[in-house]
Amino acid sequence: MQKITLTSGRRLSYDIYGDPNGTPVIYCHGLSDSRVIRNSDEILTQSLGVKIIAVDQPGVGGSTAQRRRTLKNWAEDIEELADFLKLEKFAVSGHSGGGPHAFALAAFLKERVTHGVLAAPMGPMDLPNMSRLSSKAGYFLIQVVKFARFFRWTFKLVAWWAKRDIDRYLLSVAKGDSTDGNTDTFLANEKQREMFKANYQTGFAQGAEGMIGMFEAIGNWGFTLADIPQHFDIFIGANDTAFNPAMAKAIVEQLPNATFHLWENGGHYCFVDSLPNRPHWREFLTAIKR
């Protein structure tokens, strides 16, 4: 883990991995996740020509919490980090609740962001027919976003559970993600299983602070999808139990320049898969390299 102290005095923690000479991309993790989430095959990742800068959201890992933050605040933090790393231009990527954060970078840092690649992104709250485009779990998440301040004790309870018994927490998440009718994404590969455990442990290292901050930020974007000129590749699994593929299609329709990709046998977290029948991580990073 590396850290930078921002001009505000807050700290931002991040990892840099992949090809050190590859296409630079800022990765925005999702709700309850952290900078740690990735495919566990380091050699594969290094071979794909992408330099990944995975950043912990405020309140996650080693990043200082920032209550009542906005997506524009996130763009300001990343601009400072990009300056520090001497990145004049870079791509953006993200997953789930990290989608709005990646979109914010494209919207607020138009001159620096070249393109984006997202997996199962959450759409804006004013997306037409938003509730109808979500699964049951996704619909619940939307209600949580709308009324985040009333769910703080729920977030704290989830964080307490994850910190108290990470194995049972991981098993519960795995059972809820119907990647291919079982839990291969999370449990079949021991290295991948340990990665997910470290991911959630880092995500909840400060309790529920990161989750609370993310829900508050994505409630009101401060920009529209029409404000984003860069090309985005949008991937989603056909078996996603959090967000219906119809939501991803609706996002693509709202973006001026975007391409929709469906992973036929994938769930919500399938973007990290590199199994023979699910080479999603390779496809995800290849789209970033372009």
24-36 pLDDT, tens per residue?
999 999 999 999 9
* Confidence at residue 146, expressed as pLDDT on a 0 to 100 scale: 57
Determine what percent of the chain is predicted with pLDDT higher than 90: 69
* Confidence at residue 196, expressed as pLDDT on a 0 to 100 scale: 95
Structure tokens at 49: 């020509």
**Domain extent listing, the chain:** 2-289
Tens-digit pLDDT profile for residues 104-155: 999 999 999 999 999 999 988 777 766 666 655 555 565 555 555 666 778 8
Answer yes or no: CATH 3.40.50.360 is held by domain 2-289.
Answer: no
For residue 182, what pLDDT band results from cuts at 50, 70 and 90?
very low
For residue 226, what pLDDT band results from cuts at 50, 70 and 90?
very high
Write down the H helix ranges in 123-232: 136-146, 152-164, 166-176, 190-203, 209-218
pLDDT of 242 > 50? The answer is yes
Determine the average pLDDT of the residues in 155-172.
91
* Confidence at residue 263, expressed as pLDDT on a 0 to 100 scale: 93
What one-character-per-residue DSSP string does 38-103 give?
S-S-HHHHHTTTEEEEEEPPTTSTTSPP-TT--HHHHHHHHHHHHHHTT-SSEEEEEETTHHHHHH
Among 81-90, 190-199, 270-279, the least confident range: 270-279
Sign of CA dihedral 255, 74, 58, 131: negative
Confidence (pTM): 0.93
Structure tokens at 78: 């990343």
* Confidence at residue 54, expressed as pLDDT on a 0 to 100 scale: 98
- If one compares 81 and 151, the residue with the highest pLDDT of the two is 81
Residues 6+ away with beta carbon under 8 Å from 29: 35, 37, 54, 55, 56, 57, 60, 94, 95, 98, 203
Question: What is the 8-class DSSP label of residue 275?
Answer: B
